[in-house]
Chain A
Amino acid sequence: MEVRSVKMDNLDVLDPLDLELIKLTQDGIDLVPAPFATVAEKLGISEGDVIGRIDALIERGAVRRFGASIGHRTLGIVANAMCVWNVPEDRVEEVGAIMAGFNEVSHCYERPRHPDWEANLYTMIHARTREECERIAHEISRATRISDYRILFSVKEFKKTGVRI
């Protein structure tokens, strides 16, 4: 156990160059023919190194993906429903996998229960209308045979940004 935790710690620390690389790209790369060359110049390393470092960050999970974030509201995907489900412990794995298989589900997580809060699975459903979200939740319920659920639509968005460092 000792060895494992030491190893984890090493893996979890970003070296200073990676940190700078993330800071330079997290608000979006420039839309120019060689965007990574621009970053490389600022970091004082080669373009190949920049690309190699991004690959390595993805490989170890520090970067989930490198790509475009979409303004889904602009695309008319305006309904955003968090659906919370009360799933028996022995069915969490099976049910989570089924939920994740739905295209309209962008996120699916297991989270802890609390004494006054029984839900343990959470799905984010995105669609064009509330009715469509409700229909999808109903389909998920039928597919999983989990009937104890609630749809929590967002009534107001106070903040929405990406995670930055």
Chain B
Amino acid sequence: MIDRPKELDLDLADRQLINTIQLDFPLDSRPFRMLGDQIGISEGEVIERLKRLTDLGVIRRIGPILNTNKIGGSSTLVAMRVPEDEIEEVASRINDFGEVSHNYLRPGSYNLWFTISACEKERFHEILSEISGFGYPLLDLPVKHLFKIGVKFDV
């Protein structure tokens, strides 16, 4: 059960880079030079370190994190009640939708929890109604109020 991660050898500069580029990636023509200036290393070294951190899986990607609700789409969290012996099959049918970004098994009466984010409202409703058609009881839990969406990990 204990999934011990392989030992990571992150020095101070690695950690400074990781902490900075999650929220304050410079939108500049030479972003890596700017980052290097901030922590006192060269542009080339910043790039080499970021490549290594990407290879290690510490950094997934550097890019835009989208808010589908603001680009004409919709999103929600769905909790579904699925019998245990059908869970793998149902989870896989749900994963077939490219618009499903997260899907987890959790304990409790509603045990399958997944998010749907579609860039067009029509498509969103189509997916939700197809999934309702699976015939399992579900809770549609769209955000009413957002208090925090940070996802910044201090390392």
Say whether A96 contacts B147, CB under 8 Å.
yes
Given contacts A75-B5, A78-B3, contact A159 B142 (CB under 8 A): no
- Residues of chain B contacted by A160 (CB below 8 angstroms): 101-103
A13 to B72, CA, bound (A): 6
Contact among A13, A106, A112 with B144 in the assembled complex (CB-CB below 8 Å): A112
Q: What does DSSP make chain A's interface, helix, strand, loop or mixed? A: mixed
Closest B residue to A51 by CB, please name it.
B27
Chain A interface residue count: which class?
A: 35 or more
Query: Counting chain A CB atoms within 10 Å of each CB, which of B103, B119, B141 scores highest?
Result: B141
B43 to chain A, nearest CB (A): 6
Shortest distance between the CB of B36 and any CB in chain A (Å):
11
CB of A73 closer than 8 Å to a CB of B: yes
Contact of B104 among A34, A158, A164 (CB under 8 A): A158
Of the candidates B64, B68, B92, B106, the one whose C-beta lies within 8 Å of that of A82 is B106
Q: In the bound complex, do residue B103 and residue A158 qualify as a contact, i.e. CB atoms below 8 Å apart?
A: yes
Contacts of B57 in A (CB 8 A): 71, 73-74
User: What residues of B have a CB within 8 angstroms of the CB of A99 in the complex?
Assistant: 147-148
Specify which chain B residues have a CB less than 8 angstroms from the CB of A14 in the assembled complex: 71-72
Q: When chains A and B are docked, how far (Å) is the Cα of A156 from the Cα of B81?
A: 15
| A71, B148: Cα distance in complex, Å | 20
> Do residues B22 and A63 form an inter-chain contact, with CB atoms below 8 A?
no
* A-B pairs with lowest CB-CB distance, top 10: A28-B61, A100-B148, A110-B145, A96-B147, A108-B147, A156-B105, A159-B103, A158-B103, A67-B25, A111-B141
